Structure 1
Amino acid sequence: MTGVALAEELLLLAYDDETGKATMPRISLDLGMAAAVLIELALAGRIVYSEGSLVVVDSTPTGEPLVDGVLARIAADTPHSPSSWVQRLRHGLRDRILGDLCAQGVVRDVDETELGFIHVHRYPTVDPEVEADTRRRLAEALADGQLPDERTAALATLVAVLRMEPALGLTGDAARDARRRLEEIAGGAGFSGNVSLDDSVVRPSVGLVVAALGRAVDAALGPRP
């Protein structure tokens, strides 16, 4: 694996650069983190979706400790559904990924005390380049009308499933237009069942995992307002 992990990209989108606070519900973000790590394993060719479960097909480590820990956990366990895995994995992932981003110098940990004893952590941005690249790729995907690469398509699908349009700085008609385009990307990639995976530029093995995880997260979040 190379470059920035999907979970890191999602996290940077979800946190305000200046205040360092999450701009979306924590449960949504935690479910998204879990789904992103699982999609990372699919992109790396380590897991597939088969007969309702996520299954390891290659246990070779990717070189990323957090992702490899999840890979080892799936390999050592009995098969479970995508819904089960996102619930099993969501606890503690955000803190680990934030810690990794702090270690990389992308964000910093501001530890504050409220009411004299409650510790509150904020994570303002230090190096904006990583998030800027993520936002650039998403903006190009929204404006281009063409299907982006499978990693960007997977990220766009997660943004749509997690209802993160406000994190893109969009409201009103712009947010609604972005949602339609994000859903077009997901459909065009074969993630939402609108296009046959045989006709998609995305590998079928990846498409099946993303589609299954998208359904699992969407169901866990419940009906849209």
Structure 2
Amino acid sequence: MTGVPLAEELLLLAYDDETGKATMPRISLDLGMAAAVLIELALAGRLAYADGALTVVDPTPTGEPVTDDVLARIAADTPHSPSSWVQRLRHGLRDKILGDLCEHGVVRDVDETELGFIHVHRYPVVDRSVEADTRQRLAAALTGTAPDERTAALATLVAVLRMESALGVTGEAAEQARRRLEEIATGAGFSGEVSLDDSVVRPSVGLVVAALGRAVQAALGPRR
């Protein structure tokens, strides 16, 4: 596997660069982390969706520890639905990904104490280049540039998780961003409204992303 893992890109978008605090609900972020790692495995050709379940089609490690831990766990288990896997994987996954980002010098762990005994961790950004590339790709996609497979998957996750505000837009601009993100998902075949034969992504990836998108949306409930 090459490049920055999808879960790391999503996590950097979800945390404020200066305060190092998450800008979205914990449950949404944790579900997003699980979905992002599963999509990463699909992008790497390791995971497929068939007969209502996610299954490993290639157990070869990708070389990314967090992703490979999930790959091994799925390979050793019986098939489960996307909904089941995002719930099974979401606990503790974010801490592992934050640990990797700290180890790579992208963020730093600021351990503070509140009320004299409660430890609170913040993760302000140290190396902004990773997030800058992510935001540049999303910005290009939002303004009409055809996204590649990975960027289309990331844009779809941002839409499913209702993370428009993480893109630095509010009000009408946020609504326009939401519509464009949904258009990207539809154009990629992730919404089920476009034939995967006409998609910009591989059908195997499209099926996984669509299934995980439905699973996360169901877990989050209706948009308010």
Q: TM-score range by the shorter chain?
A: over 0.9
1:79 aligns with 2:67: no
Amino acid at match of 2:97: I
Distance in 2, matches of 1:87 and 1:221, equals 12
Q: Helix, strand or coil for the counterpart of 1:120? A: strand
CA distance in 2, matches of 1:62, 1:47: 12
Q: Is the 8 A contact 1:165 1:175 kept in 2?
A: yes
- Cα distance in 2 for partners of 1:38, 1:206 equals 10
Letter in 1 for 2:155: A
Q: Does 1:203 align with 2:199?
A: no
1:166 paired residue number: 165
In structure 2, the residue matched to 1:191 is 190
3-state DSSP of counterpart to 1:55: strand
Residue aligned with 1:88, SS: helix
Aligned match of 2:69: 69
Once the two structures are superposed, residues 42-75 of structure 1 have per-residue CA deviations (whole angstroms, 9 ceiling, x without a partner) of 0000010000000111001111111111111101
Q: 1:124 maps to what in 2? A: 124
State the 1:166 CA deviation: 0.6
TM-score of the aligned structures, taking structure 1 as reference length: 0.99
Query: Where does residue 50 of structure 1 map in the other structure?
Result: 50
Q: Secondary structure at the match of 1:80?
A: coil
Secondary structure at the residue paired with 2:154?
Answer: helix
Q: Distance in 1 between matches of 2:164 and 2:51?
A: 32
Which residue matches 1:8?
8
1:215 aligns to what?
A: 214
**What TM-score comes out, normalization by structure 2 length?**
0.99
Specify the code of the residue in structure 2 equivalent to 1:201: V
Match of 2:42, SS state, is: helix
State the Cα distance separating 1:147 from its structure 2 match. Answer: 3.0
**Which residue does 2:150 correspond to in 1?**
151
Structure 2 letter corresponding to 1:222: G
In structure 2, the residue matched to 1:18 is 18
Give 5+ residue unaligned stretches, structure 1: none
User: Quick check: 1:147–1:188 contact (8 Å CA) kept in 2?
Assistant: no
Distance 1:147 1:217 in 2: 25
Question: Who is 1:140 aligned against?
Answer: 140
Measured on the aligned residues, the alpha-carbon RMSD in Å equals 0.6
Q: Residue type of the partner of 2:38?
A: L
Measure, in 2, the Cα distance between the counterparts of 1:135 and 1:217. Answer: 23
1:41 is matched with: 41
Q: Secondary structure at the match of 1:205?
A: helix
Long gaps (5+) in structure 2: none
Q: Distance in 2 between matches of 1:55 and 1:148?
A: 27
How many pairs are equivalent? 224
